[in-house]
Amino acid sequence: MKNVIAMLAATAAVGLATSAYAADETSQAKASVNYKDNGGYDSSRNAENTDANGTTTTSSEKVDVDVDSKGLVKKTVKTSDTTDPKGLMNKKTDNSKTVYEEKDNGGYKQTTTRTHKDANGTNVSYKTVTDVDVDKDGNVTTTAKTEKTVDPKGLFNKKTTSETTKTVNGQVVDEKKTSNQ
């Protein structure tokens, strides 16, 4: 009996401590999905949370899927994540957009753009384009190009690097790297 009472007292103490900590936090979330006549859909999700330290985190995502008359899919996904600690000039934002398009030959093209801006005002962006083609013999050719741009706050100090890789059936046949640094 003593063990049961001690266990109940410990559980109550932990529960009260958790409730007191959680009282300093706020959270909100919304989501929706709308279906299209062509088999595609639109969806969105938004969330916001403020923790006990006053840091606000927001997140959103929008998805748009279309299906054409051949059954090929085009999908666009946009996301945004922001962290804003209590205080001034310390907000960080990350955004991304991905567009995926299927091709008639079984291949696809995917373009992803990601951007980040830190509290110092430095913009960093990545753009990756992946193009996959399948020929009539079933050979798969993939070309992937990634371009990174770093633009610190100020004038004429942008740096860009680019990397391109081409593969055929998984074997690298060409690689190129360029930079303006």
- Length of the chain measured in residues: 181
* Backbone φ, ψ for residue 57 (5° rounding): -120, 125
Higher pLDDT residue, 125 or 87?
125
Report the amino acid identity of residue 160: T
Torsion angle in degrees (nearest 10) through CA of 61, 67, 101, 70: 170
- pLDDT of 24 reads 56
d(CA 132, CA 93): 31
Of all helices (H) and strands (E), which one includes residue 118? none
pLDDT digits (tens, 9 = 90+) for 49-69: 999 888 999 999 999 999 999
Q: In the predicted model, what is the mean pLDDT of the chain? A: 86
Percent of the chain with pLDDT over 70: 86
180 CB contacts (<8 Å, ≥6 apart)? 159, 160, 161
pLDDT digits (tens, 9 = 90+) for 92-128: 889 999 999 999 989 999 999 999 987 778 899 999 9
Q: Report the relative pairing of strands 26-35 and 41-50 from DSSP bridges.
A: antiparallel
Domain segments of the chain as ranges: 25-179
d(CA 131, CA 96): 19
Higher pLDDT residue, 14 or 61?
61
- pLDDT of 15 reads 52
